[in-house]
Amino acid sequence: MSNAPAEQTPTEEIDLAAANHIIDKYLTLHGNLMPVLQGIQDEYGYVPKPTIDLVAERLNVYPSQIFGVLTFYAQFHLKPRGRYIIRVCVGTACHVQGASRIVETFFDKLHIGHAETSPDLRYTFEKVACLGACGMAPLAMVNDATYGSMTVQKVEQIIADYNQRPMKK
Amino acid sequence: MVNLTIDDKQVTVPKDATIYDAAKAAGIRIPILCHDKKLHPFGGCRMCLVEVEQMKGRQIPACTTPVTEGMIVRTSTPDIIQARKMVLELLLLKHPIDCPVCDAAGDCDLQNLTYEYKVNANRFTDEKFQHKIDYENPLIERDMNRCIHCGKCARICDEIVSYGAYSFLNRGLEAKIGTEFDGPLNCEFCGSCVSVCPVGALLSRPFKFKARWWALSKTKTVCSYCGTGCQLTLGIKDGKVLTTIYDENQGFHNGQLCTRGRWGYQFVNSDKRLTTPLIRKNGKLVQASWEEALSAVKERLFSAKTAGGESAACLVTPRLTNEELFVLKKLFNVALGSQNIDHSAGYAHNALSAGALESLGYAASPSTIADIQKTNLLLVVKSDAYETHPVLGFEINLGVKRKGVDLRVVSDKRGKLSRLPDATTYVHKPGSEVLLFNAMARVIIGENLVDAGASSISGLAELKNSLQGYAPEKVAEACGMSADEIIVLARDYAKAEKALIMLPLGLGYPGHGKDLAQALINLALLTGKIGKEGCGVLIMGEKNNSQGAVDMGVYPAKGGKDAVAILDGCAAGTVKTLYVVGENPVVSYPNRKAVEAALDKVEFLIVQDLFLTETAEKAHVVLPACSFAEKDGTFTSVGKVIQRVNRAIAPVGLSRSDFEILNALYAACANTQPYADVAAVFAEISENVPAYKGISYAGLGENGVIWPAGGTPRFVPAEGGAVQGESGKYALLTGSALNHCGTLSRFGEGPMYVCPAGYAELSYTDASALKVKNDDLLTLKSASGEVRLKAKVSARMPQGVIFAPYHFGEESVNTLTTGAPVTWVNVSK
pLDDT per residue over B459-488, tens digit each? 999 999 999 999 999 999 999 999 999 999
Q: What is the C-alpha to C-alpha distance for residues B598 and A166, in angstroms, rounded to an integer? A: 77
Model confidence, pTM = 0.92
In a domain, A12, yes or no: no
What is the per-residue pLDDT for A12?
61
Residues A59 and A117 in one domain: no
pLDDT at B98 over 60: yes
In a domain, A109, yes or no: yes
Name the pLDDT band for A9 (thresholds 50, 70, 90). very low
In a domain, A101, yes or no: yes
With an 8 Å Cβ cutoff, is B613 touching chain A?
Answer: no
Residues in B touching A46 (Cβ below 8 Å)? none
* Domain at A142, CATH number: 3.40.30.10
pLDDT digits (tens, 9 = 90+) for B658-695: 999 999 999 999 999 999 999 999 999 999 999 999 99
What is the per-residue pLDDT for B559?
85
CA distance A68 to chain B (A): 4
Q: What is the C-alpha to C-alpha distance for residues B717 and B462, in angstroms, rounded to an integer? A: 7
In a domain, A116, yes or no: yes
Residues in B touching A66 (Cβ below 8 Å)? 180
pLDDT digits (tens, 9 = 90+) for B18-48: 999 999 999 999 999 999 999 999 999 999 9
What is the per-residue pLDDT for B723?
83
Asked if residue A109 lies in contact with residue A159, where contact means CB atoms within 8 angstroms, the answer is: yes
CB spacing of B182 vs A67 below 8 angstroms:
yes
Residue B694, exposed/middle/buried by CB under 10 A (0-12, 13-18, 19+)?
exposed
A52, A53, A61, A62: best mutation site toward chain B, by most B Cβ within 10 Å?
Answer: A62
With an 8 Å Cβ cutoff, is B170 touching chain A?
Answer: yes
Measure CB to CB from residue A2 to each of B154, B167, B738 and give the nearest one.
B738
CB spacing of A64 vs B167 below 8 angstroms:
yes
pLDDT at A90 over 70: yes
Q: Which domain-ending residue is among A25, A48, A72?
A: A72
Average pLDDT over residues A140-146: 92
Measure CB to CB from residue B167 to each of A9, A49, A65 and give the nearest one.
A65
Residues in B touching A63 (Cβ below 8 Å)? 164, 180-181
Residues A68 and A90 in one domain: no
CB spacing of A6 vs B793 below 8 angstroms:
yes
Residues A89 and A157 in one domain: yes
Average pLDDT over residues B585-604: 96
Residues A54 and A96 in one domain: no
With an 8 Å Cβ cutoff, is B790 touching chain A?
Answer: no
What is the per-residue pLDDT for A139?
94
Residues A104 and A132 in one domain: yes
Report the amino acid identity of residue B672.
T
Measure CB to CB from residue B170 to each of A2, A6, A71 and give the nearest one.
A71
Residues A126 and A91 in one domain: yes
What is the per-residue pLDDT for A6?
40
Residues A88 and A63 in one domain: no
CB spacing of B186 vs A49 below 8 angstroms:
no
Residues in B touching A4 (Cβ below 8 Å)? 186-189, 754
* Nearest C-alpha in B relative to A78: B181
Across all residues in chain B, what is the average pLDDT? 95
Residues A65 and A125 in one domain: no
Residue-level length of chain A: 169
In a domain, A4, yes or no: no
Per the DSSP assignment, residues forming a β-bridge with B425 are: B409
Name the pLDDT band for A7 (thresholds 50, 70, 90). very low
Asked if residue B53 lies in contact with residue B59, where contact means CB atoms within 8 angstroms, the answer is: no
pLDDT at B290 over 50: yes
CA distance A154 to chain B (A): 36
Cα dihedral sign for B321, B323, B327, B329? positive
Quickly list DSSP for chain A: --SSPPPPPPSS----HHHHHHHHHHTTSTT-HHHHHHHHHHHHSS--HHHHHHHHHHHT--HHHHHHHHHH-TT--SS---SEEEEEE-SHHHHHTTHHHHHHHHHHHH---TTEE-TTSSEEEEEES--S-GGG-S-EEETTEEE-S--HHHHHHHHHHHHHS-S--
Domains of chain A: total: 2
Domains along chain B?
A: 2-76 (3.10.20.740), 278-344+549-692 (3.40.50.740), 348-542 (3.40.228.10), 730-828 (2.40.40.20)
Residues in A touching B189 (Cβ below 8 Å)? 4
CB spacing of A62 vs B158 below 8 angstroms:
yes
CB spacing of B181 vs A4 below 8 angstroms:
no
Residues A90 and A55 in one domain: no
pLDDT digits (tens, 9 = 90+) for B359-396: 999 999 999 999 999 999 999 999 999 999 999 999 99
CB spacing of A3 vs B418 below 8 angstroms:
no
CA distance B814 to chain A (A): 20
- Rounded alpha-carbon distances, angstroms, from residue A104 to A111, A120, B667: 10, 20, 94
Q: What is the C-alpha to C-alpha distance for residues B134 and A169, in angstroms, rounded to an integer? A: 41
Average pLDDT over residues B116-131: 93
- SS3 at position B512: coil
pLDDT digits (tens, 9 = 90+) for B488-531: 999 999 999 999 999 999 999 999 999 999 999 999 999 999 99
Say how many Å lie between the first and final Cα of chain A, rounded. 39
With an 8 Å Cβ cutoff, is B186 touching chain A?
Answer: yes
Q: What is the dihedral of CA B566, B569, B575, B578, to 10 degrees?
A: 40
Q: Which residues contact B591 (CB under 8 A, 6 or more apart)?
A: B784, B814, B817, B818, B819
Asked if residue B259 lies in contact with residue B188, where contact means CB atoms within 8 angstroms, the answer is: yes
Average pLDDT over residues B617-623: 97
ipTM: 0.89
Residues A89 and A146 in one domain: yes
Measure CB to CB from residue A68 to each of B168, B415, B774 and give the nearest one.
B168
What is the per-residue pLDDT for A11?
52
Asked if residue A46 lies in contact with residue A81, where contact means CB atoms within 8 angstroms, the answer is: yes
In a domain, A124, yes or no: yes
With an 8 Å Cβ cutoff, is B768 touching chain A?
Answer: no
pLDDT at B253 over 70: yes
What is the per-residue pLDDT for B705?
95
Q: What is the C-alpha to C-alpha distance for residues B312 and B338, in angstroms, rounded to an integer? A: 7
Listed in order, strand segments (DSSP E) in B697-822 are 705-706, 730-735, 759-762, 777-781, 786-793, 801-805
pLDDT digits (tens, 9 = 90+) for B317-367: 999 999 999 999 999 999 999 999 999 999 999 999 999 999 999 999 999
* Nearest C-alpha in B relative to A2: B188
Asked if residue B637 lies in contact with residue B221, where contact means CB atoms within 8 angstroms, the answer is: no
What is the per-residue pLDDT for A5?
40
CB spacing of B180 vs A5 below 8 angstroms:
no
In a domain, A9, yes or no: no
Residues in A touching B418 (Cβ below 8 Å)? 1
Residues A92 and A139 in one domain: yes
In a domain, A107, yes or no: yes
**Strands B621-624 vs B604-609: parallel, antiparallel or unpaired:** parallel
Name the pLDDT band for A115 (thresholds 50, 70, 90). confident
- Rounded alpha-carbon distances, angstroms, from residue B243 to B217, B645, B743, B788: 11, 17, 21, 35
Under DSSP, the state recorded for B6 is E
Q: Which domain-ending residue is among A50, A72, A94?
A: A72
Residue environment code for B161-174, b if the CB has 16+ CB neighbours within 10 A, otherwise e: bbbbbbbbbeeeee
Q: What is the C-alpha to C-alpha distance for residues B745 and B642, in angstroms, rounded to an integer? A: 23
CB pairs under 8 A between A and B: 79
pLDDT digits (tens, 9 = 90+) for B175-215: 999 999 999 998 999 999 999 999 999 999 999 999 999 99
Angle (CA) B352 B356 B359, round 5°? 160
What is the per-residue pLDDT for A4?
40
pLDDT digits (tens, 9 = 90+) for B327-338: 999 999 999 999
What is the per-residue pLDDT for A3?
38
Measure CB to CB from residue A4 to each of B170, B418, B754 and give the nearest one.
B754
Residues in B touching A62 (Cβ below 8 Å)? 158, 163-165, 167, 180
Name the pLDDT band for A14 (thresholds 50, 70, 90). confident
CB spacing of B166 vs A67 below 8 angstroms:
no
Measure CB to CB from residue B187 to each of A2, A6, A65 and give the nearest one.
A2
- Per the structure, the complete domain to which residue A44 belongs is given by 17-72
Residues A24 and A68 in one domain: yes
